[in-house]
Structure 1
Amino acid sequence: MSQRLSIARKPYTPRDRVDRDRFNIILDVEAEVISNSYLFTGASVHKVEVYDVVGRMENVIQRYLRGEISEDEIINIIYNQYRGVEIRPSRRMPRYLDKIIIPGSSIKGAIRSRIEYKCSPSISCYSVESRELPPKQFYRRHIGYWGENVVDARGACSPDNVCIVCDLFGAPGLLSRVYFTDMVMSSGGVSFLKDLGVEAVNPNSKFNLEVNGVNFNFTDLGLMLAGLEIFTGS
């Protein structure tokens, strides 16, 4: 059974103004794919449940209005009428106006995870809303790096009581203070990798990205630079 872990939390930083000794920032970043690897961004094939109840709902509602079935029975009817649908995402790199891009949301998530990975687990709630973390296979690198204490219960952040990572990147009910544009390819190209069946960005390709930060201090800036692997030597 996991132990309760104390997370360093504080009231959230205002989003609607720039406080004394704080500043807004714009970072212009150029990123390059490493020379010995391709880059792919996308999602795996997965199944979703689709509820096939349209043809039956009118009859069910009429039975409910006549008092023949209860509300709980309606819910059970809906849940019992689903089918699995396989979703196959595109195997091509995302594009906008014929330019290869990496969505800003993907970059933001990766950088947030990188900050959590590099910093002490006692500073972040890992955006988990329940007391316990998900199954270990979802964060085995964190376990390998920090040890078993990353599975300790830590509770969820709220707008009035946030960890330093949620204060920067946002949490349920709390806006982010950092915004990422899409990364747009400035040089390089893509290739179709037959073994994997996907289109991937070629080695040494370059992308441009803009990061906007609101009401930052130097701790926030340091976290961003660490997440972007700027001046970290790693």
Structure 2
Amino acid sequence: MWRRLTVQRYRTPYTERNAPGLEGALDIEMEVVSDYLHVGSGVYDVEILRPLDDIDKLVESALQGTVPDVSGYFSPATHEMNKYLGKVVIPGSTIKGLVRTRLELSIRESCYVVSRNSNTVSNTYKKIFRNPKPKYSDRFPERVCPVCDLLGNSGLASRVSFTDLVMAQGKTDFVNVNGQYYESAIKGSKFGGKVVYRSLKPVDLGMLLYGLGFRLKGNKLEGKVMLMGRFKFSDRRFGRVRFSLPAAKVEFVNALNEFMKKFNPFDYNEEW
């Protein structure tokens, strides 16, 4: 697997982080545009279908080296999504991780440094995110990587907070993948939440918008398809989402334009 090496920081003077700047909150909406989206909670369930009356025989068989067939005793595993007060949610940490990863891959001067010695990474991942090795410099605390400056890192507070995204429209279904069932939001389901920010310059706000997948289409912002959740690189039915802003503003367009001009970021087509 890809592994992140020692954090390298670059570019932004550390002393400028707490200077007065833009404060506010983005109301964001996320729509599932693939057939399904599964973001696991780590909770799964297996139902006992019939009593293990002959458990002693099963144990004795196992001790003798014969693996007993117990498939008829248990249901297939079902993997659940996160819930809060009965509603399906996508954790804010998942959204933040998505934003950070896209920015680290897109900005040449970020501290995203990986080892390319492994051959276990998804071929789909490698096909999509073909990024030349970024420049970096270990000069913390005098200077800090622009992505870490925005989203924080060990010993460095984030200037952006992501709430959980709560399902506002749609439903879930259990989808069979390799004999196990995954609770998944179906196509067209929509989630809503907020991104709260403080002490940002316009270029920082533009960086945040870019990390959420917004691109300039004339004088408007348009969200691109992004990959999220389980099976996104292995099963075309899963993992495509798109963000939108119910209340887009002119200053958002200007901020994104400033970011694009300053960083000239890489972009990726995630619709494999």
Name the TM-score, length of structure 2 as normaliser: 0.55
Q: Give the partner amino acid of 1:178.
A: V
Q: 2:39 corresponds to which residue?
A: 41
More strand, by proportion: 2
Q: Give the partner amino acid of 2:205.
A: L
Task: Give the alignment partner of residue 14 of structure 2, picking from 12, 15, 24.
Answer: 12
Q: Give the partner amino acid of 1:225.
A: L
Moved over 6 A (4+): none
Task: Give the alignment partner of residue 123 of structure 1, picking from 84, 87, 109.
Answer: 109
Q: 1:72 corresponds to which residue?
A: none
- Give the whole-Å Cα distance in 2 for the aligned partners of 1:107 and 1:157: 28
Task: Give the alignment partner of residue 145 of structure 2, picking from 163, 180, 187.
Answer: 163
SS state of the match for residue 197, structure 1?
strand
The alpha-carbon distance between structure 1 residues 206 and 232, as it changes in their structure 2 partners (threshold 3 A), is: closer
Q: 1:77 corresponds to which residue?
A: none
More helix, by proportion: 1
The alpha-carbon distance between structure 1 residues 182 and 170, as it changes in their structure 2 partners (threshold 3 A), is: same
- Give the whole-Å Cα distance in 2 for the aligned partners of 1:17 and 1:102: 32
Q: Give the partner amino acid of 2:82.
A: P
- Give the whole-Å Cα distance in 2 for the aligned partners of 1:44 and 1:97: 18
> Can you give the 5+ residue segments of structure 1 that lack an aligned partner in the other structure?
1-5, 46-88
SS state of the match for residue 220, structure 1?
helix
Does residue 226 of structure 2 align to residue 224 of structure 1? no
Name the TM-score, length of structure 1 as normaliser: 0.63
Q: Give the partner amino acid of 1:172.
A: S
SS state of the match for residue 35, structure 2?
coil
Contact 1:188 1:205 in 2 (8 A): yes
Q: Offset of 1:105 from its aligned partner? A: 0.5
Q: 1:99 corresponds to which residue?
A: 87
Task: Give the alignment partner of residue 173 of structure 1, picking from 151, 155, 164.
Answer: 155
Q: 1:76 corresponds to which residue?
A: none
Q: Offset of 1:112 from its aligned partner? A: 1.0
Which shifted more, 223-232 or 180-189?
A: 223-232
SS state of the match for residue 144, structure 2?
coil
Per-residue CA deviation, residues 43-81 of structure 1 (Å, 9 max, x unaligned), is 789xxxxxxxxxxxxxxxxxxxxxxxxxxxxxxxxxxxx
The alpha-carbon distance between structure 1 residues 232 and 146, as it changes in their structure 2 partners (threshold 3 A), is: farther
Q: 2:234 corresponds to which residue?
A: none
Q: Offset of 1:116 from its aligned partner? A: 2.2
Q: 1:111 corresponds to which residue?
A: 99
Quick one: percent identity of the two aligned structures?
37
Q: 2:230 corresponds to which residue?
A: none
Q: How many residues are treated as equivalent by the alignment?
A: 174
Per-residue CA deviation, residues 73-99 of structure 1 (Å, 9 max, x unaligned), is xxxxxxxxxxxxxxxx98100001111
Per-residue CA deviation, residues 193-216 of structure 1 (Å, 9 max, x unaligned), is 123521111110010010011101
Contact 1:17 1:215 in 2 (8 A): yes
